Structure formats: structure tokens, C-alpha cells
Amino acid sequence: MGPVESSLLAAIEEQGCIHLSLIDPEKFTGRLSRSLEDLQSWGTAAIMVGGSTVSSVEQLDGTVKKIKKLTNLPVILFPNGPTGVSRFADAIFFMSLLNSSTPRFLIRAQAKGAPSVKRFNLEPIPLGYLVVGDSKTAVSAVGRANRIPYSKPELAAAYALAAQYLGMRFVYLEAGSGAEHSVDTSMVRKVSSDLDIPVIVGGGIRTPDRARALAKAGASAIVTGTLLEQQGPGPVKGIVSAMRRA
């Protein structure tokens, strides 16, 4: 296990549930870059960089370099494929979209990207990725996911347990960026109680109340992205402090 993963686990151990900020290089603006210092001071644990439609390595590299200049937070890549690998990041969620219907997102893209991860000496953090819920989001369409309905938490738990038994060290329940409804608390409760590894939850989380409920249901990390893009850092502060209280 590398230093970024160790620091995430230590923060989860200390705080119960941590906050991760997701930045999409295609939407990285001057206003967003000015928010980075605030995010760090409020206690976001790391910056994830990626997006379902990112295709320019130059744009990705530029975004990661700027983030590294502006904060001391670890930068973790959140790739949609081999073009999601930047030599300037600290770590990468090395993930398989477990409920994808195509081998491309199960293993082929990973095989294409793995040599770059090694060459750039990036820290791989193995993660099982599950697209859940009913929203028609970019990740669901691009990843050709057979979405797991919120009414079937036991199905999500079965996939998540399989991920754990395959040696993955995190599971990510993804409702999709900008999803109308974030992941259901009953699903988070079932998955986190069945698993020994941390559960990350993201997609459509917009309010402190929602973040608090997900943390209480057993999420070890909450990811927000769209909120920062659309409303600036203020609402994210509310979410981070609500999670601290939870």
C-alpha cells in the first residue's frame, strides 16, 4: 500500500467519513482553481481528477499541474480509460466498472493504461466501481452500465463483496455526476455493513443533510464535483462540516 492510500485510510479512521473533491479537467476554470485553497483549509482529504468524457491528456496534465501548484493535497486520478493517466498525479484509482456490459471497462482499458501507471510511478489504488440508481448519466451511457436499482441493495452488496474478494481495496457507489437522486442510504447501509473495505459514495450530493445521512449510513468517503463547478466552494464547506459533525 502506498502513501496516498495510507493517508486516506488514516483520515477515515480518524474522522469516520472523509470528503473528496472531484475536478473534471473539461470544466476546470479560474474560479475553480481559486477555490482550491479553501477546500484544503476546510478539510477535503484529496482532489480526484477525471470525468467520463475526458480525452485530452494535455488538458488533464495541465489541470493536474495547476492543482499541484495550488494545494498540498494528494491528487488522485479518476480515469475513464487510458487517456485518464497523467504523470503529474500522485495516485490513481485503478478501477474496474464492475457492472459494465463491455469488456472494455471491465479490463481492456485497464490493460492499456497499466504500463503508463508503472512508467509514471503512480500509486495504484485498486477500486471496484459500481454505477447505481435510475439516472441517465454520462458514466452510465459511456460505461454501458447495467445500473443497479436503489431498490436492490443486496445486489449492490453482492458486487461489492465480489470486489473485496478479488482484492480491491475500495468500493465506489456511483449515482453519476449531476444525478437527480444520490445513492440511497439503505444501499449504503447494506453495502458498508457487508464489507470490510471502505465505501465511497458519489453523484448528485448537493446538501449537508444528504452528506450527513450518507455518512451515518456507513459511507467512508463522500465525493462532490458538480456542486463546486456550479456554485463555488461555499456549499462544499457546509457539506464538509456536516460530515465532520456526523
Quote the cell numbers at residue 203.
453523484
Site for ligand 1GP (CB under 6 A): which residue of 203, 208, 218, 233? 203
**Interface with ligand 1GP includes 79 (CB under 6 A)?**
no
Regarding 204 and contact with ligand 1GP (CB under 6 A), the answer is yes
When binding is defined by CB under 6 A, the residue of 46, 77, 226, 236 that contacts ligand 1GP is 226
> C-beta of 187: minimal distance to ligand 1GP in Å?
14
| CB 151 to ligand 1GP: min, Å | 20
Q: Which one of the spans 2-10, 54-62, 117-125, 217-225 is the region binding ligand 1GP (CB under 6 A)?
A: 217-225
| Interface with ligand 1GP, residue 232, by CB under 6 A | no
Q: Which of residues 6 and 146 has its CB atom nearest to ligand 1GP in the complex?
A: 146
The stretch among 68-76, 100-108, 184-192, 203-211 that binds ligand 1GP (CB under 6 A) is 203-211
Q: Please tell me the count of residues contacting ligand 1GP according to CB under 6 A.
A: 14
The answer to whether the beta carbons of residues 49 and 64 sit under 8 Å apart is: yes
Cβ partners under 8 Å of residue 118, min gap 6:
none
Q: CA nearest 98: which of 152, 153, 52, 145? A: 145
Q: Does 35 bind ligand 1GP (CB under 6 A)?
A: no
Q: What is the CA radius of gyration of the chain?
A: 16
Burial of 230 (0-12, 13-18, 19+ CB in 10 A): exposed
Q: Which is nearer to ligand 1GP, 6 or 27 (CB)?
A: 27
By CB under 6 A, is residue 46 in contact with ligand 1GP?
Answer: no
* DSSP-assigned states of every residue in 77-123: E--SSGGG--TTSSEEEEEEETTBSSHIIIIIHHHHHHHHHHHTT-E
**105 contact partners, CB below 8 Å, separation of at least 6:** 81, 96, 97, 143, 144
Residue written as cell 439503505? 186
The residue of the chain with the least Cβ separation from ligand 1GP equals 202
Report if residue 223 touches ligand 1GP, rule: CB under 6 A: yes
- Candidates 209, 218, 225; CA nearest to 20 is 225
Q: CB of residue 118 vs ligand 1GP: minimum separation in angstroms?
A: 25
Residue 5 binds ligand 1GP, judged by CB under 6 A: no
Residues that bind ligand 1GP (CB under 6 A): 22, 174, 177-179, 202-205, 223-227
